[in-house]
Every structure is written in C-alpha cells, then in structure tokens.
C-alpha cells in the first residue's frame, strides 16, 4: 500500500481548513490498517475519522490514516432489542437514519451530528439529553503499537461528558474499527425533555411522537441553530460546558443572574459556556474569516479562508476573556492538531 504525499486536507475537515498531510492513506479494512502498521516507521502517526472534531493549525508531518472502513449490520436480535454494528468509516447520520428506517430506537436524539461512527465513542457524542454511552454495547479496535485487534466494553471505554478512555490513557494508542450498539425494536424510550424538543414536536403537530418524529424534531432544531459545515466551516461546539461547584455557581449568579445551570452530581453543576461567551460580547464577532457563530456562541466558524491558527487565536482570546470576566476556565472540546 502506498501513501499519497502532500495531500490537501481541506475537504477532509469540517472547518474547511487548508493544510497538507505529508503522507496520507485512506484505510478501508482492518487488514489494510494492519498492513500499514507492520511497516517499519517511526514518524508521527495520526488517525482521521470524519474530520468534524478537529482543528488543523498547520501542515501535518508524518503519516495520516483516514479511516473509511464501511459496513452496517444487524448482529443479533431478541424480543425487544437488537445489536447493530457500524464500520468506523460509516457516516454517523446516515447510520442513524438506517437504524430509524428499520424502526430501531435509541439514536434518534443523536441525529445530524457530523462525523464518523468510529470517532463517536472517542468524545462520547451527545445531544438533546442522550449520549452515545447510553446505547453503546462494545467496540473493536486495533492497537497501533502492535497491530493486534481487541474488543472493549462500556466500562473499559470509561465514558464521561465528551470524554472517554481514548482521550485519556488510550490517547494515540488505538484505532477504533467497528462500533456496536444495543437498540430497541419495541417500546422505544423517548427522551423528550431537553430544551425545545417538545415545543418543536408541537409545532410539527405531532401528538404521539415516534422515534422518526423525534429525529425530525432534532434535525429541525440543529439546522436552525448550528451552521451546516458544507456552507460554513465549523466543528460543532468548540468548547466543553464547564462543571462547577455550588459556591462557584452562587458567585456567578451575582454577576449573571440569568445564568442557566444543570445538575451534574452532588454539589456539581454544568453551565452553558455559550452563555458566558455571549455575555462577553463574542457572539457574531468576526476577525478576518474566523468567527464566533451568530446563532450559537459555542460554535467557532471559518467563513472561507481562515487558517487553523487564526481560529485557535480567536478561541484563546475568547477563553481568556471568559476567565478574566467570570473566573471560569473553558477548554476546547475539539482536538487541536
Ligand atoms: N446559550 C446562550 N447563547 C448561545 C447559545 C446557547 O446563552 O448562543 C445558552 C442558552 O441559555 C441555552 C444553553 O446555552 O439554554 C444551552 O444551549 P444549547 O441547548 O444550544 O446547548 P449547548 O450547551 O450550547 C450542548 C452540546 C451540543 C449539543 C447541544 C444540545 C456541548 C459542548 N455541546 O450545547 O453538542 O448539540 O448541547 O444537546 O456539550 C457538540 O458537541 O459539538 C455539540 C454541538
């Protein structure tokens, strides 16, 4: 197998950043991956999935493997659940739609999230009251050091809020190749309580929603707030929502009386970074082609030809101002390369 040299990554990252990979190879199967890993090579190795959660700040030296392993399958079925699998290279939203078309429930709130199925466990994708961990069964991966295949269950993946083993101890060590989900085939449990879901369903005149209605409502909400990466480059939420203690929340409420907060365990609260960023005046701000999206302050955008370093500089300015004004540290959710 051969690497392509100095490949443009512009169409492979949802920010639409122009940058080159010194050596690039698309990977379509586990055996192709293992063949590449057997080559004697000490140069840096990176794994790219759907490119929707990465900010590339310069040309990449070494090797870049672009995981394009296909496959969607019903693995096992019993009375009211089914185990389905997705090859790591499957487009996440198309996989969700495929599950919905067969009346498999559990992924509907995660509709329209950009990216690939293989990348989804890494940051434990989540939206509208559901996260991947809720429906995850297990995954298969390849150890990048040894080329060996392995299986990991939910506990081993150590999922947290936009977090997992693969962002901590396992960072840079594994390539996820296939993900397995446990979905419902009957008596679907609908998660309707987050944000504008109920009112969106009511506006759609849906009285007794099913999983496909819920998916349509989520798609409607996302499309109205989040920029379409095909039109405006972005990677979804750029920062994570911070978790703070009660005393800290009370202090912040003095400064921002309308601050929203969600319970996050004993004496812990999650607060929307978007609200802090907006209160610092960044929403809709633009500096060259780098900007803070006008409809969702947590989303940084590339209006055309911004360099990754310009987006990063804006992110740092935003984080600094939130820190100086509110004493809260906001950290990127997006991987910065
Ligand atoms: N808000 C503002 N200003 C804004 C946007 C939001 O003040 O410009 C406030 C509102 O008060 C709102 C609250 O923030 O009540 C929460 O907003 P929203 O429901 O849009 O969600 P979020 O916390 O900004 C998170 C996820 C999104 C996910 C939505 C919906 C993170 C980092 N982001 O955003 O995930 O779609 O909830 O569940 O947890 C992503 O991770 O890339 C992503 C888009």
What's the pLDDT tens digit per position in 40-52?
Answer: 999 999 999 999 9
**CATH placement of domain 4-67:** 3.30.43.10
Q: Do 233-336 and 72-184 fall under one CATH topology?
A: no
Residues 6+ apart with CB under 8 A from 70: 28, 87, 89, 90
Q: Class for domain 233-336, per CATH? A: alpha beta
What is the CATH T-level fold of the domain 72-184, as seen in this structure?
3.30.465
pLDDT at residue 195 greater than cutoff 90 = no
- pTM tops 0.85, yes or no: yes
Known catalytic membership, residue 243: no
pLDDT in tens, 51-82: 999 999 999 999 999 999 999 999 999 989 99
User: What pLDDT does residue 60 have?
Assistant: 98
**What does the alpha-carbon distance between residue 229 and residue 53 come to, in Å, rounded to a whole number?**
11
End-to-end CA distance of the chain: 25
Question: Which segments of 224-319 are extended strands (E)?
Answer: 233-237, 243-245, 262-263, 268-270, 286-287, 290-292, 299-302
Q: Is 236 in the pocket of ligand 1 (CB under 6 A)?
A: yes
Atom of ligand 1 nearest to the CA of 226: 44
Give the domain ranges of the chain: 4-67, 72-184, 233-336
**What does the alpha-carbon distance between residue 118 and residue 115 come to, in Å, rounded to a whole number?**
9
User: What pLDDT does residue 2 have?
Assistant: 85
**What does the alpha-carbon distance between residue 230 and residue 12 come to, in Å, rounded to a whole number?**
11
pLDDT in tens, 118-175: 999 999 999 999 999 999 999 999 999 999 999 999 999 999 999 999 999 999 999 9
Q: Token pair of 322, please?
A: 């939130």
Percentage of the chain with pLDDT > 70? 100
pLDDT at residue 85 greater than cutoff 80 = yes
Known catalytic membership, residue 333: yes
In this prediction, residues 166-189 reach a mean pLDDT of 97
**What does the alpha-carbon distance between residue 218 and residue 335 come to, in Å, rounded to a whole number?**
25
């Amino acid at each position: 197998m051969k690497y392509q040299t100095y490949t443009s990554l512009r169409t492979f990252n949802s920010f639409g950043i122009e940058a080159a990979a010194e050596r690039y190879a698309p990977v379509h199967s586990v055996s192709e991956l293992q063949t590449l890993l057997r080559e004697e090579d000490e140069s840096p190795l990176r794994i790219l999935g759907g490119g929707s959660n990465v900010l590339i700040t310069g040309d990449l030296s070494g090797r870049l493997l672009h995981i394009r392993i296909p496959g969607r399958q019903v693995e096992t079925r019993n009375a009211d659940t089914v185990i389905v699998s997705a090859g790591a290279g499957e487009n996440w939203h198309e996989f969700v739609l495929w599950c919905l078309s067969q009346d498999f429930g559990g992924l509907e709130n995660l509709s329209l999230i950009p990216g690939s199925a293989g990348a989804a466990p890494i940051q434990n994708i989540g939206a509208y009251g559901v996260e991947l961990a809720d429906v995850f069964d297990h995954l298969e991966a390849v150890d990048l050091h040894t080329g060996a295949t392995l299986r990991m269950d939910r506990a081993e993946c150590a999922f947290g809020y936009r977090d997992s083993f693969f962002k901590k101890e396992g960072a840079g060590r594994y390539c996820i190749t296939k993900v397995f989900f446990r979905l419902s085939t009957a008596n679907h449990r609908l998660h309707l309580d987050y944000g504008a879901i109920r009112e969106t369903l009511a506006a759609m005149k849906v009285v007794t929603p099913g999983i496909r209605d819920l998916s349509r409502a989520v798609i409607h909400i996302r499309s109205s707030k989040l920029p379409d990466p095909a039109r405006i480059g972005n990677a979804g939420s750029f920062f994570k929502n911070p978790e703070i203690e009660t005393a800290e929340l009370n202090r912040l409420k003095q400064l921002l009386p309308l601050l929203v907060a969600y319970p996050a365990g004993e004496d812990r609260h999650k607060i929307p970074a978007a609200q802090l960023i907006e209160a610092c005046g960044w929403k809709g701000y633009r500096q060259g082609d780098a900007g803070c999206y006008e409809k969702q302050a947590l989303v940084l955008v590339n209006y055309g030809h911004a360099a990754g370093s310009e987006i990063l500089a804006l992110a740092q300015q935003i984080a600094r101002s939130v820190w100086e004004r509110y004493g809260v540290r906001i950290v990127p959710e997006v991987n910065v390369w």
